[in-house]
Amino acid sequence: MTLEIAAILGIDGVANGAIYILVAIGLVLIFTVTRVIFVPFGDIAAFTALTLAALENRQVPGTISLVIALAVIAALIEVVSLVRRGDLHAVPRALLFYLGLPLLVVALVRFGIGFELPMAARIALAILLVLPIAPLLDRIIFRPIADASVLLLLIVSVSLHFALSGLGLLFFGPEGVRTQPLTEAAFDVAGILISGQTILIVVTSVIFSIGLYLFFDYTLTGKALHATAVNRTGARLMGIRPARSGAIAYILGSLMAGTSGVLIAPVNTIFYDSGFLLGLKAFVGAIIGGLVGYPSTALGALFVGLLESFASFQSSALKEVIVFSLLIPILIWRSLASTHSEEDIEE
Amino acid sequence: MSLLSVENVSVSYGKVEAVRGVSLSVEAGRVATVIGPNGAGKTTLLTAVMGLLPYKGRILYDGMDLSKLDVEARVERGLCLVPEKRELFSEMSVSDNLILGAYSRRDRNNVARDLDAVYDRFPRLRERRSQLAGTLSGGERQMLALGRALMTKPRLLMLDEPSLGLAPLIVREIFHVIGSLRDLGVSLLLVEQNARAALETADFGYVLETGELASAGPSKDLIHDPRLIATYLGEH
């Protein structure tokens, strides 16, 4: 391997890593706030890409039916549970959040299809349409079992992924898509060609990371989310609703997954089930980071990206094997290195 | 009218009934205390009033039945619990802990002023405001728990074993602060094993034994009750 090849692989790896950072940070965000390892996260990214492709062809994306179906089910469940509790005055608000807002987004997208929209508007609509999916799934599936063990939540989450890829096939069909390039620009840096796409990916990832840092450190909502992650009971005693924190975490996470979907769709062909590998690799990155801190997660995800890039140079067929085999030594190392505090044992 | 009235409340963990048919009340602006031995059901009772445990019977707060309100809605209406385990946000700074105390308040403009007031009451917290809550000493953690509770602007503050595990000097300081909360117009329900200190602070006392109310009366009467002196208070 020459230095030049290493540099090219390195740049490629950083770009991959930047994508994994977006998804991995979203995963950690949702996990710390809700204790759910949201395996279908990669599916959200894939669905965004598929939605964007449909919008580019001025077709009605399958996401619309999916969102309508989920919104109706979630609204029904919420209203029934409110009526049972005798909490009738909360019904209009619940209908607004679980039915009104998702349908408003659907209407906006449906309206937008009628026009020749600029790329930025298409991207915004695609991400907007995907945002309600995770919070609605949370309401339908995870809220009723919010106090279950992490393992049970994980098992449900895995089955939810399989259900979603089935729905993906139903709503989007089996064809793969590739969206229009976001930029054609390319830069020659010391003899190595760096595409504008790569730079865009890295810059987006950096912007999101900084934005998230500012959100957690400087806003009351961000602090409340952090507090829910640190101590649920403590948060409830201060009037912070874990369910609301969870919904915000799902929306923020979906924003990051959706963005990553938009960023990879021009360079990779995306199928209805492409999200799984993306989510799984981001998950490996998050595990390397210990599923807790955001900087460590970002480093873990970057490492996975670089490893994947160099592994594919050594043996393209074995690159997934190399990345996933990495989990075993890392889990052993983590279980040896971590010290269990008294509080952990109590729980 | 009583601010809080607990009427014939029972709380069970599965088949075990930890609290049986307890009735008590806290008058507005007054301090009431529940004393009793370990395992008498004191913590269980507070947890149920806060809405963290289901109960049978009726709990009225400011004339309103609490059964339909979840924990968060109770906090919004001025009910606040400082649990025995404090439940601080250990990985967050002292000032963030305090700011989150005001999370559900509508009067956002007064939050900065109240934060200052808490720092005045606990100068140690001001010194350590950028330190992580998890790194504080036991006494400081209790001060932070109290400060954070005050930031919710409570009308009824429930304290579970505020003196537990603290050095005698700090216990005195904590009780001094508790006594001074009366001036803020906060009503208090205080659960304590340190029966003497609790009765000296409170206006009215309840004695809980194996989940049932054993006796009740004005603190100044209870403190001279020969049976209580023999079991809980000891000779002064």
Superfamily of domain B2-78+154-233, CATH level 4: P-loop containing nucleotide triphosphate hydrolases (3.40.50.300)
Maximum C-alpha span of chain A: 71
Q: Provide the pLDDT for residue B236.
A: 55
pLDDT digit string (tens) for A257-302? 999 999 999 988 999 888 888 988 998 899 888 877 788 889 999 9
H-type helices in A181-293, by residue range? 196-218, 220-230, 232-237, 242-264, 275-288
pTM across the whole model? 0.89
What's the burial of A10, exposed, middle or buried (CB within 10 Å: 0-12/13-18/19+)?
middle
In this predicted structure, the answer to whether residue A347 has a pLDDT above a threshold of 50 is: no
Confidence of residue A345 (pLDDT cuts 50, 70, 90): very low
β-partners of residue B204 are B32, B218
Cα angle B51, B54, B55; round to 5: 105
Mean pLDDT of A48-75: 93
Residue B96: list chain A partners with CB under 8 A.
223, 226-227
Q: Do A233 and B83 touch (CB under 8 A)?
A: yes
Contact B55, B10 (CB under 8 A): yes
Residue A230: list chain B partners with CB under 8 A.
89-92
Contact B145, B82 (CB under 8 A): yes
ipTM reported for the complex, 2 dp: 0.93
Indicate whether A190 belongs to any domain. Answer: no
- Find, among B50, B53, B51, B57, the residue nearest to B21 by Cα: B57
Residue B107: list chain A partners with CB under 8 A.
none
Task: Flag whether residue A227 sits within 8 Å of chain B, measured between CB atoms.
Answer: yes
CA distance B101 to chain A (A): 5
* Edge-to-edge order in the sheet of strand B212-218: B79-82, B156-160, B187-192, B31-35, B204-209, B212-218
User: What is the rounded distance in angstroms from the CA atom of residue A79 to the CA atom of residue A81?
Assistant: 5
- Find, among B202, B148, B203, B142, the residue nearest to B169 by Cα: B142
Percent of residues in chain B assigned helix, strand, coil, to nearest 5: 40, 30, 30
User: What is the rounded distance in angstroms from the CA atom of residue B64 to the CA atom of residue B51?
Assistant: 14
User: What is the rounded distance in angstroms from the CA atom of residue A268 to the CA atom of residue A48?
Assistant: 13
**Could you tell me whether strands B2-13 and B56-61 are parallel, antiparallel, or unpaired per DSSP bridges?**
antiparallel
In this predicted structure, the answer to whether residue B68 has a pLDDT above a threshold of 90 is: no
Confidence of residue B14 (pLDDT cuts 50, 70, 90): confident
- Strand ranges inside A144-283, DSSP E: 186-189, 192-195
Mean pLDDT of A250-262: 94
Q: Provide the pLDDT for residue B16.
A: 87
**Which chain B residue is nearest to residue A292, measuring alpha carbons?**
B91
More confident residue, B231 or A124: A124
Calculate what percentage of chain B has a pLDDT beyond 90: 70
CA distance A238 to chain B (A): 5
In this predicted structure, the answer to whether residue B225 has a pLDDT above a threshold of 90 is: no
User: What is the rounded distance in angstroms from the CA atom of residue A72 to the CA atom of residue A70?
Assistant: 6
Interface mutation vs chain A, best among B91, B95, B108, most A CBs within 10 Å: B91
What is the domain range of residue A220?
A: 3-176+197-337
Q: Do A238 and B88 touch (CB under 8 A)?
A: no
Interface mutation vs chain B, best among A238, A244, A347, most B CBs within 10 Å: A238
Cα angle A232, A237, A239; round to 5: 95
How long, in residues, is chain B? Answer: 236
For residue A261, give the 3-state DSSP assignment: helix
> Phi and psi of B158, rounded to 5°?
-110, 125
Mean pLDDT of A4-10: 88
Among chain B, residues having any CB pair with chain A shorter than 8 Å are: 50, 52, 68, 71-72, 75-76, 80-81, 83, 87-92, 96, 99-101, 103-104, 148, 152
Q: Where are the domains of chain B?
A: 2-78+154-233, 90-152
Q: Provide the pLDDT for residue B75.
A: 95
Interface mutation vs chain A, best among B50, B75, B89, B93, most A CBs within 10 Å: B89
**Could you tell me whether strands B16-27 and B31-35 are parallel, antiparallel, or unpaired per DSSP bridges?**
unpaired
Q: Do A237 and B103 touch (CB under 8 A)?
A: no
pLDDT digit string (tens) for A24-37? 999 999 998 988 99
CA distance A221 to chain B (A): 9
pLDDT digit string (tens) for B226-235? 888 887 777 6
Indicate whether A209 belongs to any domain. Answer: yes
Q: Do A238 and B50 touch (CB under 8 A)?
A: no
- Residue B106: Cβ within 10 Å count: 8
Q: Provide the pLDDT for residue A342.
A: 43
- Angle formed by the axes of helices A220-230 and A3-34, nearest 10°: 80
Task: Flag whether residue A87 sits within 8 Å of chain B, measured between CB atoms.
Answer: yes
Q: Do B90 and A236 touch (CB under 8 A)?
A: no
Residue A317 is classified by DSSP as G
How many domains does one find in chain A? 1
Mean pLDDT of B171-198: 89
**Which chain A residue is nearest to residue B99, measuring alpha carbons?**
A220
What's the burial of A21, exposed, middle or buried (CB within 10 Å: 0-12/13-18/19+)?
buried
Q: Provide the pLDDT for residue A312.
A: 87
Indicate whether A320 belongs to any domain. Answer: yes
Q: Do A230 and B91 touch (CB under 8 A)?
A: yes
Q: Provide the pLDDT for residue B123.
A: 93
In this predicted structure, the answer to whether residue B50 has a pLDDT above a threshold of 80 is: yes
- Angle formed by the axes of helices A41-56 and A101-113, nearest 10°: 30
pLDDT digit string (tens) for B105-123? 989 899 999 999 999 999 9
Contact A17, A302 (CB under 8 A): yes
Confidence of residue B152 (pLDDT cuts 50, 70, 90): very high
pLDDT digit string (tens) for A171-230? 898 988 888 888 888 888 777 888 888 899 999 999 999 999 899 889 999 999 999 988
pLDDT digit string (tens) for A296-340? 889 999 999 999 999 888 888 888 888 888 888 888 888 887 665
Maximum C-alpha span of chain B: 51
Interface mutation vs chain A, best among B46, B68, B72, most A CBs within 10 Å: B72
